[in-house]
């Protein structure tokens, strides 16, 4: 049998959830372009689409929003668990420990939408509670009439967020929610295929996302923008990096050989809110300079902006601390993991690949 290291190119499932065309720069969720969903639909509507295959009507959306809010309120027992975890434990491990403490009583096989809502809603509340505790600040409760993204910012910062920040974070949530059978999503499906409880599949996926080759935060892009400092220094700084053979962070992608559709959508959102957020305008202008330089210095290569560039611009603008970058990625990717777990459960067969033995024989 032919070995495919990393299972590259191996098809292991049929799916109706998403489609990626890297050559054409297309990302599809359930038949809809993801970038159009980010621009014209709420994150809650997109999650509902991923899970149920259709958009909710107004009554269903209201009920879904209500359920998300209700499940974001932590019990006193869970708050105590979050506080008792040693302060040097990283945030991704805190999330896994907190979810594990819930046990499988509420999340057993088979997975359901009710269980899915609970897991999606409680994760950002865990992150915010832990962050507030580490800062020596009181835990903030979610507000019923705020969106999922708005409540996340409220629970972290303790104040109602700026509308431009809410819009930007919602768009990022939508565009990061699902991206095919990546390492963490495949992990979630493998665990779900054993008929383990829903929380175990999500916790396993969190472990995969924690690895720097998969869930690495866009902090390097933010670091680059901070070092550039001003538009006056941008061309000189980036030209010197290219002269030294270094990369410009946030440009180029392994899958997308043209403009990353997620970056396109986030750019539009950032441009819309640039009047209210100077950092947005700075990021847009630096991108223009970078693309012109790349075309000049590397004319035979197609290097375009990737999603990490504008993710960094957004997370910086909404004043999210760097220790929350990867956990925030996890918050939104849970929606995609759950969509795949629900799909796996519909026609389940345990995922059990094989291997070639190349060791010695007696």
pLDDT at position 344 is 95
pLDDT classification of 164: cutoffs 50, 70, 90: confident
Taken as a whole, the chain contains a residue count of 362
Please state, in angstroms and rounded to a whole number, the distance separating the CA atoms of residues 283 and 132: 29
Report the predicted TM-score, pTM, of the whole model to 2 decimal places.
0.89
pLDDT classification of 11: cutoffs 50, 70, 90: confident
> How distant, in Å, are the alpha carbons of 162, 188, 338 from that of 207?
32, 10, 15
Architecture of domain 18-216+322-346: Orthogonal Bundle (1.10)
pLDDT at position 121 is 96
Fold that domain 219-317 belongs to in CATH: Cytochrome p450-Terp; domain 2 (1.10.230)
pLDDT digits (tens, 9 = 90+) for 295-341: 898 888 888 888 888 888 889 888 899 889 999 999 999 999 999 99
Domain-by-domain residue ranges, the chain? Answer: 18-216+322-346, 219-317
Backbone angles phi, psi at 208, to 5 degrees: -70, -40
Please state, in angstroms and rounded to a whole number, the distance separating the CA atoms of residues 300 and 38: 32
Residue 216 confidence (pLDDT) above 70: no
pLDDT digits (tens, 9 = 90+) for 32-49: 999 999 999 999 999 999
pLDDT at position 305 is 86
Average pLDDT over the chain, rounded to an integer:
90
335 contacts 185 by C-beta, under 8 angstroms = no
162 is catalytic: no
pLDDT digits (tens, 9 = 90+) for 48-92: 999 999 999 999 999 999 999 999 999 999 999 999 999 999 999
Find the catalytic residue in 133, 157, 253, 340.
253
**Helical segments of the chain, H only:** 34-40, 43-52, 58-71, 76-84, 91-101, 113-134, 148-157, 163-176, 183-193, 198-209, 212-215, 219-228, 231-243, 261-272, 278-297, 307-317, 325-346
pLDDT at position 340 is 97
Mean pLDDT, range 196-222, rounded to an integer: 85
pLDDT digits (tens, 9 = 90+) for 84-126: 999 999 999 999 999 999 877 677 788 889 999 999 999 999 9
pLDDT at position 138 is 96
308 is catalytic: yes
Find the catalytic residue in 44, 170, 277, 308.
308
């Amino acid at each position: 049998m032919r070995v495919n290291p990393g299972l590259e190119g191996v098809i292991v499932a049929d799916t109706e959830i998403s489609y990626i065309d890297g050559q054409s720069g297309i990302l599809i969720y359930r038949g809809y372009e993801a970038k159009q969903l980010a621009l014209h639909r709420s994150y809650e509507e997109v999650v509902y689409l991923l899970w149920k295959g259709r958009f909710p009507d107004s009554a269903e959306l209201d009920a879904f929003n209500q359920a998300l809010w209700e499940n974001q309120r932590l019990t006193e027992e869970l708050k105590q668990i979050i506080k008792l975890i040693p302060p040097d434990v990283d945030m991704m491990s805190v999330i896994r420990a907190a979810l594990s403490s819930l046990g499988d009583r509420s999340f057993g096989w088979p997975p359901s939408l009710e269980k899915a809502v609970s897991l999606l809603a409680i994760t950002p509340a865990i992150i915010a509670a832990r962050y507030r505790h580490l800062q020596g600040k009181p835990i903030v409760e979610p507000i019923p009439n705020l969106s999922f993204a708005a409540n996340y910012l409220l629970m972290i910062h303790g104040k109602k967020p700026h509308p431009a920040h809410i819009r930007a974070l919602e768009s990022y949530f939508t565009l990061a929610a699902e991206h095919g059978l990546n390492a963490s999503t495949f992990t979630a499906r493998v665990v779900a295929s054993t008929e383990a409880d829903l929380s175990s599949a999500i916790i396993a996926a969190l472990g995969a996302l924690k690895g720097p080759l998969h869930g690495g935060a866009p902090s390097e892009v933010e670091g680059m923008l901070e070092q550039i400092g001003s538009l006056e220094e941008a061309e000189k700084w980036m030209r010197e990096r290219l002269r030294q053979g270094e990369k410009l962070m946030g440009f180029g992608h392994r899958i997308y050989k043209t403009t990353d559709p997620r970056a396109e959508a986030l750019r539009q959102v950032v441009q819309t809110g640039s009047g209210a957020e100077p950092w947005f305008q700075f990021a847009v202008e630096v991108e223009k300079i970078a693309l012109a330089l790349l075309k000049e210095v590397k004319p035979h290569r197609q290097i375009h902006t990737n999603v990490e560039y504008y993710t960094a611009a957004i997370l910086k603008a909404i004043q999210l601390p760097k220790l929350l970058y990867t956990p925030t990625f996890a918050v939104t990717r849970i929606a995609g993991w759950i969509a795949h777990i629900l799909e796996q459960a519909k026609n389940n067969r345990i995922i059990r690949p094989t291997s070639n033995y190349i060791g010695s024989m007696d």
